[in-house]
Structure 1
Amino acid sequence: MESLILAMIEYLKQLSYGGVVLALTFEFVPAELVLPLVGYWVYQGDMIMWLAILAGTVGGTFGPLTLYALGRYGGRPFVERFGKYFLIREKEINAAESFFEKYGAGVALFGRFIPGVRTAISLPCGMAKMNVWTFSIYTFIGVLPMTAIYVYLGYKLGPRWKDMAEIIKPYSLPIGAAVLSILIIYIIIKRKRTA
């Protein structure tokens, strides 16, 4: 499957930055695979770093918008029936829905950093009919830092860009802990304001 996705991404490279946006618009294409490769293209001189990051972030925002639309216009029955085609199982839908109910619109931002919630969080945002502009802005802001990190690391690793998963693994826990801390602070501030 990975080799098929990589072949598709290489083909989309012909469309330059538009190809990056298009590749990341498909939710079944893992950003963790695409973005280091894009960083490698920057290393090769085929792309400019800031434009590659922008294209990756825009594509990373369009993808969740498709799931948001499924949630908004199809509702839970539709998502339960067709979510599997987007590699989203009922377990992820339930986790994302519960997360959304607890933390509100901010999950469109913070949910991007939580594995198992990251992809599916768009569905309950759509089902709750969250404002599409708010959703898009939060998603863009949430996607930007990880896109920049992955593209930059792909650039720094150059021809070894495929080794990134092993290199980044030791940093996953501290990054997750930092994001969780920010989420907790956000929740405390939100509760104090409503109290």
Structure 2
Amino acid sequence: MEALILQMLETFKELSYIGIMLALTFEFVPAELVLPLAGYWVYEGDINLFGAIFAGSIGGVLGPLTLYALGRYGGRVAIIKFGKYFFIKEEHINKSDEFFEKYGGSVAFLGRFIPGVRTAISIPCGMSKMNVWKFILYTYLAMLPITAIYVYLGYRLGPQWENAGEIFSQYANYLLIPIVILIIWMIVKRRKLSTQ
């Protein structure tokens, strides 16, 4: 499967930045594969680092936007029926629903940093008819640092770009610590507001 995806990505390479955006629009193509590979293309001199990060961040919004639309216009029944085509199981939807119930619209940002919630979080955002512009903004703000790290790792690793995911996971906790602090702060703030 990975070999097939890599072959497809080589076709996208010919489309340059638009190819990166398109590759990330399909939720079945892992960003963990596309972004370091884009970094390798930077290393090879085919594209610019900042252009790759920008294109990757836009593509990182387009993919979740398709799931948002599925949630908004298809509802839970359609998601359970068609979610398998996006590698989304009902348990992912349930986890995302619970997360959305706890944290509201901010999950469009926070959920991107949590494995098991990351992909499916767009669905409850759509089902709750969250403002689409707010959803796009939150998703972009979350995708920008993740994209930048993966593309930069791919660039620095050069021909060993496939090791980027392993390296990212070693340092992911340093990225997650400020997110956890933000979540705790939001919970405390929400509880204070509900008791007033």
TM range (shorter): over 0.9
Is it true that 1:132 corresponds to 2:138 in the alignment?
Answer: no
1:160 alignment partner AA: Q
Q: Distance in 2 between matches of 1:77 and 1:19?
A: 32
Is it true that 1:141 corresponds to 2:147 in the alignment?
Answer: no
RMSD of aligned alpha carbons: 1.2
Alignment deviations for residues 116-165 of structure 1 (CA, whole Å, 9 cap, x no partner): 00000000000000011110111011111000000011111111111122
* Stretches of 4+ aligned residues off by more than 4 angstroms: none
Alignment deviations for residues 60-99 of structure 1 (CA, whole Å, 9 cap, x no partner): 0000000000000010111111111110000000000110
Is it true that 1:34 corresponds to 2:40 in the alignment?
Answer: no
1:166 alignment partner AA: E
Q: Shift in Å at residue 171 of structure 1?
A: 1.5
2:141 alignment partner AA: I
Alignment deviations for residues 25-52 of structure 1 (CA, whole Å, 9 cap, x no partner): 0011100000000001111111111111
| 2:49 match | 49
Q: Shift in Å at residue 180 of structure 1?
A: 1.6
Q: Distance in 2 between matches of 1:138 and 1:175?
A: 17
| 2:12 match | 12
Where structure 2 has 5 or more consecutive residues not aligned to the other structure, the ranges are none
Summarize the alignment of residues 22-171 of structure 1 with structure 2, pairs less than 5 Å apart.
22-171=22-171
Asked whether the equivalents of residues 40 and 158 of structure 2 are also in contact (C-alpha less than 8 Å), the reply is yes
1:180 alignment partner AA: V
Secondary structure at 1:158 match in 2: helix
Q: Distance in 2 between matches of 1:11 and 1:118?
A: 27
- Percent identity over the alignment? 61
Where structure 1 has 5 or more consecutive residues not aligned to the other structure, the ranges are none
Q: Distance in 2 between matches of 1:79 and 1:67?
A: 9
Q: Shift in Å at residue 178 of structure 1?
A: 3.1
Q: Shift in Å at residue 193 of structure 1?
A: 4.4
Number of equivalences: 195
